[in-house]
Each structure stands twice: as C-alpha cells, then as structure tokens.
Amino acid sequence: MKIAIIYNRDSQAVINLFGTPNREKYGLQTIDMITEALVKGGHQVKAFEGDKNIIYALEEFMPSVITGERPGLVFNLSYGIQGRARYTHIPGILEMLGIPYVGSGPETHAIALDKVLTKMVLLQKGLPTPRFTVLETPDFSLPLKDGLNYPLIIKPKDEAVSFGLKIVNSDPELREGVDVIYGMFKSPTLVEEYIDGREINVGLLGNDPVEAFPPVEIIFDQGEQIFTYEDKIKTSGRTLKKSCPASLDPEVAAQVERLAIEAFNSLGCFDSARVDFRIDRQGNPYILEINSMASLGPGGSYVYAAEKVGLDYSALVNRLIEITSSRYFGPHLVEDSSTMLQDDPRAAAFTSLTQNRDKIEEELKDWTNLPSWTGDPVGLGAVIKKLEYQFTERGLHPVKEFTSRRSAWTWQTDAGFEGGTLLVASVDVPRDGGGGYPIPFRRDPEWLYGEGIASSRAGITCIFQALGVLEALEKLHDSKLGVFIYADEGRGMRYSAAYLQQAALKADRIIVMQPGFRSGKIVDQRRGSRKYSILIEGAFQRIGAHGSSSDLMSWFLYRAERVGLLSNQEGRLTVAVQEVHSERYSVLLPHRIRATVYVTFLDSAMADEAESALHELFAPEQGEEHEEAMVYIERLEERPPLNRSAAAEETINQLKKISEDWELPFGVESSLLPSAAGEVPEGKAVICGMGPASRDMFTPHECVHRGELLQRSLLLTLLLLEE
C-alpha cells in the first residue's frame, strides 16, 4: 500500500504567517523510524511536509483510484503550522481530497486541543475531571469564581505538550502565571484545581473494540509533582521514571482503563489516543485531558505501554495501519493476491495491477525515454531490440511470415494466434528524425507526458502489463494470442500494411492499441485519410512589374481558400490545406509552390469525388491568368477508414460486460484520425482505441491520462483472460 507520512517540521510554506505558531515538532529520528517500520511492513512510503503544497504532492504520489482499488493512506503526524485549530488542518484537507488517514477527524482534534471544550464534554458525559474556570485576560478579579482553592494548575486553554503548565499557590503567583501565558500564547488561561496524587496515563488503540494499554505512571522523585514541557524535552534537570503497568489496585486500574475508553468514545476519537489522569490520595481518578494525537516518540509513554503488551515499534506502527484500513475498508480485505490466484484469476489480475501502479508508470517512463522517430533508424532499432528481448523473456516466438524486420514484426504464444486475438501497436513516433531533442517523460497529478507517449508507448505498456499478468497466472501460453508491431505509422503504414492485412486474416479479432477517449471510450469507427501533393510551376515575375496578370501565389491562395468548400460535414468528409512552401529567386515573386492537402473520410466514393474536384479546382483554364502554369497533383498516402461492423459487436459487448462487472468506465466513440484498424480486412472483428485516453497528440504536450493507463491495462487483461 502507498502510505504518505505527513508531518510538520521545517516548512513554513503558507500564503501568510500570522496567528499562533506551532511549537510541536516530531523529531527526524521518529519520522525515520516510522518510515522504516512501514517499509518493513511491505508498504511504499514517502514523507511530506504538511504545508500548502501537500495537495499537489499527494495527487502525484497517490493518484485517484479506480473502483475497487484500495487507495493509499496518510500516516498523519501533522501538528499544523499555525493557528489555534492547527491539528485540524491536514485531516480537513484529507477529508476534502477523499484520502484515508490514520487518526481522528478534524472535529475531534478541534475539541481535544481546546481543553475547556474537552472538560465540558467530559462533564456532560458524567466523566470525572477537576473543577475549573477560564480567565480570558490577565485583567481578572479575585477571588476566583466557582470556589476554587489553592494550589491550582494553570495552562493555556488550547495548547498541548504541557506548554505553560504551572502550579500556583497564591494570588500573586496566579496573576504572574496568567500574564505569562497571555503574553506568550495570546490565549485564555485554564485554571483548575490541582489534584494532589499520582500521574497516570492510558494509551488506547483500535476502534471497535478499543483496546486500553496498561496504565503508565509517571514517577516524580524530586521537584513539583507535574509533568512539564521541560520534562518532556529533557531540560528540567531531573530524570523522571515510568512504570508500566502502574502499581494500582486492580479495581482502580480497571476503572481508569474504562474511563479512558469512555473518554475516547465521547470525543469521537479514532485509531489511537492517550488519556491523562491524576489519581488523588483516596484513589479517585480525574481526567485531565485527551491527547487525540498520542506521541509516537520512541521515549514516550504510549510507545512504552505498547511494548508491554508485545508491540515493538514496528509492530505498533503497522498495527495502526491495519486498524485504520479496517475502519475505512472493512476487516475482510484480502491483502495477498496469491490467495486469489486459485479462486479467481480475475481478482488476482486486478490486485496485481492495482498494487503495481507505480511499476506500470515506471515501465511507461522507460519506454517513453527511448526515442524512435519515424525517420530515426537507430532509435527504432534500439526499441525493436528491447521488444525482442521482452517478448523472448516471456516465451513468445517470432512469426516469420508476418515479419519484414524493417517495418513489421509479429510474435505469438505457444498456442499461436490463429482463431484468437491479435494485438497491434506502433513503435515509431510520427516525427522526422535529425532535428530537435526528445521530450522526456514527466508526470503531473492527472496526466503523464513524453515523446510518443500516447501514439505509441502507452499501448505497448498496456500490452506488456497484460502479458505479465497472464504469465504469472500460468495462462499466457495457452492463450491464442499474437502481437503485431509496426514502425511506419509516420509514413501511413506504407510498408507494413500488407503484413498486417495478412496476419489479421488468421485472427478472430484484432485490437489496436491506439489511444481511446476519456470515460473509458474505445473506438469502433475511424475516418480514413488521403494525402495529396500539389506542385504548381509558373513563370518568373518581378515584384512591381507592370502587367494585368496576378502573381502565382495569389492565384494559388484564391484556390486554396476554396479547398475547404469541398468538405461535407454531413457526409463526414473534410478537405484542408495542410502545408504550403514556395520557391523564388532573389527579389522575384514565387515561381514554384508546393502544397499538401489532407482529406479525411468514411466513404471512399466521396473521397474519390473530392479528389476529382481537387484536380478541377487547380487546373488552369484556357484564357485565364497563369494558363501556362504547370500543375501536378499526386496522391502520396492513403489510410482506409474503419467503419462500424457487426463483427466487432461481440467483442464490444464483452468489454461492456467486463466494465460493468468491475465498475470501470466504458463507452464507444468515433474518431477523426486514421489508424492501423483501417487496414484490417472487412468482415474481421476489429476495435481500436484500447490505449489510454490522450490529449494533444503529435505535439510536444502529448500525454495520457494516469488513471486510464491502469484502467486500460486492466480491461485488456480481463478480456484476454476470458478467452
């Protein structure tokens, strides 16, 4: 499980610093000990300062989960940066973000940090606590109300760890103490009767039921019989001893444990807390306060008591995780996917993929940082070599009849893919090599960026995730499965299309790993495309020369503007000028113009009509300007469309059923861009868009959705398991 430790120590990253600063800090030794304990427990752990950057940090570390996936947890050690309700800040943010966390909620911390509110709750519940009053400012009247008698205890109303704690025995001492507290904390002073007796605290662990640790007694050999802040930070000059279990009558011990549990429940605490008592000379216990964030410092009484019941430090920390997990997710969550392997391979696949989300992203990073542009034979060779190694490691075999070793490669399992499934992915990033620099992998909380990450790398990563799970379940080589890889997507599959067409004839269904759309939408229809080169050559013409004819560029631009009129929105036909270059000599006007026109279509007959219209549009007519111009129009590339077919319905229905069973988003969409799916012969079941949803394809900002990387890996794996 992913566990983020949140603490406050060094950072003061807030918009403004004002109000009551936090004086409580966990030591680095304790943070390191908790981290080591969690790592020992098999968790993935990272520590963060609890400041204004925490939302972004958590989004990156533990992105939103899919339905049924166990989210990560926050191990909350945060005392806050500033403010009187600082304990509530991180829990409040986590509640808003929907991230589970160890410990009590913000409402409990708000009450527990306010000692007066705590005492009012205790009194309302009939629980014993010393009599008290509150002095708002140093300017108070004597004698005190409520008949309080010296000696008295004074402390800030809403501070912790014994800040400002002091015994006063007279009116002058009281005034002096209140003045110090107000000056230091700008806080009202809680004044309560001093209970002359023994200092006891009880640690609590769990929720339903709550377990009370044996009582711990703080033994004072010298000085005042109270546990001060100076004692806690070891600057008081005296050494205090702890005794656990405290030497109490069994009836008293049972009573303080019961009262501690009742106080825990009264404030609505979760997971852990510590309740501090004083027991008077007659054996009567009084609740002083409830520490809703019991210190996990290795020298603290909470850890000391846990050791007495057999919980060493590592066991205690991991026990807190178990208790919190049970509270959020229930007690029957199965941790070990190996127990699922025999009973339900699908559940094992789900667990394997969701628990290795980071590994999936790291594998995608490795592929993305290995550039292979269409015009880069060296980069393509390196990627193919890595693919060959990966497939060989999994025991797949090359299929020579569908492999050219220049533009197309095919691998298959022991069972072959005849009558089975053929997965299709490209390895080239549609960009000419020789210029610029690769765009490195990076992530933000929602998207993953990098060179060709959507057009190529995410689909490859999903394939290897599915193969890895099938191999772990010992189902890979019994599956009728093949993988077709091609390296000329940037050239419109000019060389690999014939190999794919032949390989597809053997398979029952073909799944193309191009990106889909958000909300789990795959693609069952794609437009085809044609690319045309237009070359126009005319006479040389000087700038400013007298004559009636317009220049060649103006002649071209007039017609280029009319190219868009050939489009037919209802017929899903688009015609557009994609690129224009001109050539000229010195100060002369352009005499040669090269243009690229791009056509997308679903109906080939309509594309033929558009091609004829294109020829007519750019054909110089007799008697018009530039009739002597030479115009050459050539079709450079054609990508067939993918039209919806009945053959694909069975696979689409399978995917829909899997998505419903596992509560994954799913839908079907049409795409404007062509893909390898259009090369599959008619009558074959083919679907496209099984890769993660993308954004800004073929740009430096190309990215895939983090959540969909996991969803698509899972959907593909579950589909292959049904074969």
pLDDT per residue over 642-664, tens digit each?
Answer: 999 999 999 999 999 999 999 89
Q: Which residues contact 709 (CB under 8 A, 6 or more apart)?
A: 360, 361, 364, 448, 458, 461, 462, 692
**CA-to-CA distance for 263 and 257, rounded, in angstroms?**
10
pLDDT tens per residue across span 241-265:
899 999 999 999 999 999 999 999 9
Dist. CA 85–CA 489, nearest whole Å: 58
Q: Is the pLDDT of residue 448 over 60?
A: yes
Average pLDDT across the chain, whole number:
91
Kindly report, residue by residue over 561-585, the tens digit of the pLDDT.
999 999 999 999 999 999 999 999 9
Segment among 233-237, 437-441, 672-676 with least mean pLDDT? 233-237
What's the rounded Cα separation, in Å, for the pair 611 and 576?
A: 12
> What are 539's two structure tokens?
């006479």
Q: What is the pLDDT of residues 595-652, one digit of tens each?
A: 999 999 999 999 999 999 999 999 887 656 667 789 999 999 999 999 999 999 999 9
Give the pairing of strands 2-7 and 73-76: parallel
* Alpha carbon distance 456, 380 (integer Å): 12
Residues 210, 208: Cα–Cα separation, whole Å? 5
User: Can you tell me the mean pLDDT for 268-279?
Assistant: 97
Instruction: Name the pLDDT band for 62 (thresholds 50, 70, 90).
Output: confident
Residue range 475-504: mean pLDDT, rounded? 96
- Rounded distance, CA 451 to CA 704, Å? 11
Give the domains, in start order, of the chain with CATH numbers.
2-101 (3.40.50), 111-311 (3.30.470.20), 358-411+422-526+642-696+717-721 (3.40.630.10), 528-639 (3.30.70.360)
The larger pLDDT score, comparing residue 511 to residue 444, is at 511
My answer on whether omega of the bond before 209 falls inside 30° of 0, hence cis, is: yes
Q: How far apart are CA 474 and CA 451, in angstroms?
A: 34
Q: What is the mean pLDDT of residues 295-318?
A: 96
Q: How many helices (H) does the chain have, and how many strands (E)? A: 20, 29
| 102 three-state secondary structure | coil
**Whole-model pTM?**
0.76
What is the pLDDT at residue 686?
Answer: 97
* pLDDT score at 572: 94
**Mean pLDDT calculated for residue range 426-455:** 85
Distance CA 663, CA 564 (A): 43
Token pair for 536? 């126009």
What pLDDT is stored for residue 436 in this prediction? 64
- pLDDT at res. 335: 44
Query: Which pLDDT belongs to residue 342?
Result: 47
pLDDT at 336: 43
Radius of gyration (C-alpha) of the chain in whole angstroms: 36
Residue 700 burial by CB count (10 A; 0-12/13-18/19+): exposed, middle or buried? Answer: exposed
Residue 499 in this model has a pLDDT that exceeds 80: yes
